[in-house]
Amino acid sequence: MAELPIAELPPARCSGRFTISTLLGTEEGGRGPYAPTESSGCDSAQPTQLSGSTLCTRTFGYNTVDVVPAYEHYANSKGVGDARKGRPSLADLHSILKVRWDSASPEAGPEEASAEPGTDPALEPVRFGWVKGVMIRCMLNIWGVILYLRLPWITAQAGIALTWLIILMSVTVTTITGLSISAISTNGKVKSGGTYFLISRSLGPELGGSIGLIFAFANAVAVAMHTVGFAETVRDLLQEHNSLIVDPTNDIRIIGVVTVTVLLGISLAGMEWEAKAQILFFLVILVSFINYLVGTVIPATAEKQAKGFFSYRADIFAQNFVPNWRGPEGSFFSLFSIFFPSATGILAGANISGDLKVGKGTCHCVPTGACVVRDASGSLNDSMALGSPGCEGLACAFGWNFTACAQRQSCRYGLSNYYQSMSMVSGFGPLITAGIFGATLSSALACLVSAPKVFQCLCRDQLYPLIGFFGKGYGRNSEPIRGYMLTYIIAVGFILIAELNAIAPIISNFFLCSYALINFSCFHASITNSPGWRPSFRYYSKWAALFGAAISVVIMFLLTWWAALIAFGIVIFLLGYVLYKKPDVNWGSSMQASSYNMALNYSVGLSEVDEHIKNYRPQCLVLTGPPNFRPALVDFVGTFTKNLSLMLCGNVLIAPRKQKMPDSWLTADGHTKWLMKRKIKAFYTDVVAENLRSGVQMLIQAAGLGKMRPNILVLGYKRNWRTASPQSLEDYVGILHDAFDFKYGVCLMRMKEGLNVSQVLQAHINPTFEAAENGTRVDPTTLACEQQASTIFQSEQGKKTIDIYWLFDDGGLTLLIPYLMGRKKRWGKCKIRVFVGGQIHRMDEERKVIVSLLSKFRLGFHEVHILPDINQKPQPEHIKRFDDLIAPFRLNDGFKDEAIVNEMRQGCPWKISDEEVDKNRVKSLRQVRLNEILLDYSRDAALIAITPPVGRKGCPSSLYMAWLETLSQDLRPPVILIRGNQENVLTFYCQ
């Protein structure tokens, strides 16, 4: 359909003193203006000129454009087919070569040549090793507010045994997730963006986007949780000294808001300050842990005993080993939801895109549970002599009577009541307080940094609307200052809740949802067998990932079933939005691999299924040329194939023999994007051939895959057949013959205004069935961006009619295609009318027969018209118009014998002999009469579908085109000439 130009390639430059240009001769076997010598057709071996000038010369001993493998050839590559740094194209290696000297200095390398004087090198961002970036960050998140302030209380509620189980479950979930994240991290080069970047680039934007938003939000809420823990400790200190600001609840809010504001200032100061602060906090926490362990072995003072601490006692351990549920949180999964956020710190390093390590340190329930009783009053007056009557509880054996407060449930101390038990147990209480400050502030600071980093990367990818504002970065590390402010606002909102036990379950729900998605995504990537999924992490198992996903989902529903439904509802909405919008990103994800696997499996599976009429689908090969040049033809076929069957847009690129092949993948990509922008579900394919007919033959025979093969050839009506070159006319009609030979149905589309809009698009190429007038190609990069031409098939048709002239039984294709169009919304209000030929004295009987047949087909066509006047003689002026139409193509041989006629027609097979005119006179008059009927009955229809005559082989192409011209001329609505391959496409049988 289009003639390919002979394009010149720019010279392929190599480092060194010379460059190598790719040249083409102007003619086959001839020499162009830069024609090389005979020896230059291959890589030149001239050691006197080129020895030692390039690495390739030194490696192979002769000059070659080909290069040795290098890292930079693969770095920063965009995708398959895109140009990569330093590697020559196939054309550079395969074409004729010419060596010329470069005017640049032989010592000037490519980097020196490209450098601009006076420019300073870009500042490198701050990088952190695994200690600062991962280990310290993870440990600080794990050694956080829950460990200090809630683990002793959880031990009192659940007992040591169930607390171990809670810890084991949390570690299992986070460890499996850590292994999955480690696998993703080693599946490619990791950039900023944390968990979102890892998931989206390995597993696709659909899952990555939903995980990124949830994970960023969970981290923002975690800022509030850790800050509230800090504020709670400060409040307790103020309460002990009777120095409350307002009241216990509002003090937490005031202290929390002030604290998170200070942390925001540290974060805005940059990652370097944040990392230094984390190291200081880490050292303080280590000292506090040592202080705590030392305190457990120091004999208890009277003050500590009054608060329930008695050092290590076997009977205390035994009593605290079993649960003692109290209060509204007194259940296993309620406590699990409060504890679980302490284990989520395993991804703190990943949020700044580092490696992962599974942290330890959550076994401090054992020392506390073996040293402290559940209830204590804190009053020294409750001491008593051993064996005193009226004392109940384990403390009686140690000389303390806490019976009164235990019965009234008013004890202020003990594991069940005092959140600062670790401070009380330690050797030096202020160190534990410092540890709590360090743990809570460091964790809050880490989450305050993590959430904006994840969210910034998500915003920059523009997967969701209205969030791009937060993607802007500042400074060397591209700090997400706007993201910090958003996280700050979210954190303040949750700080106002002022209740740690209420905030922690919210975080658990979202983190568990994220972990479930991460593990399932990794499992999905493993089972898709994607060649791109090849992590170097050895300890990853897809079955472990599946188990991690399953257990996360189960725990979510066991915690709070309605919250789990809300979380998954949000995920499904976010996932559906990305699937619907199809953002312009291509990261080579497992979702793409899965789509390929599914398509491949189903395509292979179709080969095992026997064809049946009930499963017939109109699978169309549409000769569109460049699809944007014939939008009406594309829209027409897309109307009835969308979500139903195969549509393949074919383009024949006409090129002389042995001409250089074009970069057809680039052109095809532009046409495919144009189809996607127009919301046409179709494929595009092109072939290079010496002429149109041979190219179409290639498409007819090779298009499709297995049972997914076209069975209908759709093309536009050739309006200029009378003025076109005779060979073009022969090729056009020959294509119709070829389609029937390969058992294709044929569908011709004619519109009054024509189909080709290339002139409207101001294109330089005429992609019709003639060769191009000049050799200029349309720039494929502009195809997807150009303004979309509107067609009748994109607009609502209202209450018009679709008229079907089922003149010949072609198997039912003439009925099926209009029926499929009538099912679409834009054509749904149209009334479908069926016209058939008949005799005037049998009109009612013939109508009943057709109505009965149509009802058995279940097509819903109830308006049937019999055309009794179809055999009437057409009007004389219309007959004369047909005779004038074929007059330029007649031989006027005077009914000579066949041998003389063949001799006269030699070299012009499209000519019509007098005998052929006379022999086909009745058929010709039938087309004239049918046109009169169409003008009478269907002048105002929305669409006309008619069964055209079949031109037998040997029938002159000009005569056949005259029939089609006469049949469809002067009609305002689009005319669809449909002819099936005489095999049934409709059935009324159940078997």
Residue 92 pLDDT: 66
Return the sign of the alpha-carbon dihedral for residues 249, 253, 258, 262. positive
Q: What is the rounded CA–CA span in Å between residue 480 and residue 194?
A: 13
Q: Percent of the chain beyond pLDDT 90?
A: 23
Mean pLDDT (whole number) for 881-909: 83
Each residue's pLDDT tens digit, 538-555: 888 889 999 999 999 999
> Among the ranges 72-86, 123-137, 542-556, which has the highest mean pLDDT value?
542-556
CA terminus-to-terminus distance, the chain: 44
Contact 222, 201 (CB under 8 A): no
Contacts of 853 (CB under 8 A, 6+ apart): none
Mean pLDDT (whole number) for 398-404: 84
For tokens 């051939």, the residue is 689
Q: Compute how many other C-beta atoms are within 10 angstroms of the C-beta atom of residue 582.
A: 10
Query: What tokens does 320 get?
Result: 């605290």
- Give the pTM: 0.64
Going by C-alpha positions, the residue among 668, 673, 636, 639 that lies closest to residue 651 is 668
What is the radius of gyration, based on Cα positions, of the chain? 40
Q: How confident is the model at residue 666 (pLDDT cuts 50, 70, 90)?
A: low
Contacts of 250 (CB under 8 A, 6+ apart): 498
Q: How confident is the model at residue 775 (pLDDT cuts 50, 70, 90)?
A: very low
Q: What is the rounded CA–CA span in Å between residue 987 and residue 854?
A: 10
Q: What is the rounded CA–CA span in Å between residue 170 and residue 71?
A: 41
Each residue's pLDDT tens digit, 459-509: 888 888 888 888 888 877 778 889 899 999 999 999 999 888 888 888 888
Q: Is 408 helix (H, G, I), strand (E, B) or coil?
A: helix
Mean pLDDT (whole number) for 698-721: 92
Contacts of 511 (CB under 8 A, 6+ apart): 215, 218, 340, 341, 344
Q: How confident is the model at residue 94 (pLDDT cuts 50, 70, 90)?
A: low
> Among the ranges 3-17, 140-154, 441-455, 893-907, which has the highest mean pLDDT value?
441-455
Going by C-alpha positions, the residue among 384, 372, 373, 377 that lies closest to residue 402 is 377
What is the chain's length? 991
Q: How confident is the model at residue 19 (pLDDT cuts 50, 70, 90)?
A: very low
DSSP 919-957: HTHHHHHHHHHHHHHHHHHSTT-SEEEE-PPPPPTTS-H
Residue 274 pLDDT: 59
Choose between 716 and 341: higher pLDDT. Answer: 716
Average pLDDT, the chain: 78
Query: What tokens does 123 get?
Result: 């500042």
Q: How confident is the model at residue 85 (pLDDT cuts 50, 70, 90)?
A: low
Each residue's pLDDT tens digit, 112-121: 333 444 444 4
Q: State the pairing for strand pair 18-23/96-101.
A: antiparallel
Each residue's pLDDT tens digit, 586-629: 676 666 777 777 888 888 888 888 888 888 889 999 999 989 88
Query: What tokens does 15 get?
Result: 């480092």
Each residue's pLDDT tens digit, 762-774: 443 434 333 333 4
Q: Is 411 helix (H, G, I), strand (E, B) or coil?
A: coil
Q: State the pairing for strand pair 712-716/745-750.
A: parallel
With both helix axes pointing from N to C terminus, report the angle between 542-559 and 332-339 in degrees, rounded to the nearest 10.
120
Q: What is the rounded CA–CA span in Å between residue 427 and residue 298?
A: 7
Query: What tokens does 698 get?
Result: 């290639």
Residue 644 pLDDT: 87
Residue 646 pLDDT: 92
Residue 51 pLDDT: 36
Q: State the pairing for strand pair 683-689/712-716.
A: unpaired
Mean pLDDT (whole number) for 361-380: 76
Q: Is 556 helix (H, G, I), strand (E, B) or coil?
A: helix
Contact 714, 749 (CB under 8 A): yes
For 691-724, give one letter per residue: b (16+ CB within 10 A) or e.
ebbebbbbbbeebbeebbebbbbbbbbbbebeeb
Lowest average pLDDT, out of 84-88, 353-357, 553-557, 679-683, goes to 353-357
DSSP 874-898: PPHHHHHHHHHHHGGGB----S--H
Mean pLDDT (whole number) for 735-751: 93
Query: What tokens does 206 get?
Result: 């659909």
Each residue's pLDDT tens digit, 641-664: 988 899 999 999 887 766 655 556
Strand stretches in 62-182, DSSP E:
96-101
Each residue's pLDDT tens digit, 166-202: 988 988 898 898 888 888 877 776 666 666 777 777 6
Query: What tokens does 980 get?
Result: 């099936």
Residue 82 pLDDT: 46
Residue 216 scores a pLDDT above 50: yes
Q: 413: buried, middle or exposed (CB in 10 Å: 19+, 13-18, 0-12)?
A: buried
Paired with 474 in beta bridges are 479
Contacts of 643 (CB under 8 A, 6+ apart): 681
Residue 310 is given by DSSP the state -
Q: 952: buried, middle or exposed (CB in 10 Å: 19+, 13-18, 0-12)?
A: exposed
Residue 212 scores a pLDDT above 70: yes
Q: How confident is the model at residue 59 (pLDDT cuts 50, 70, 90)?
A: low
Each residue's pLDDT tens digit, 483-493: 899 999 999 99
Going by C-alpha positions, the residue among 442, 376, 457 that lies closest to residue 411 is 376
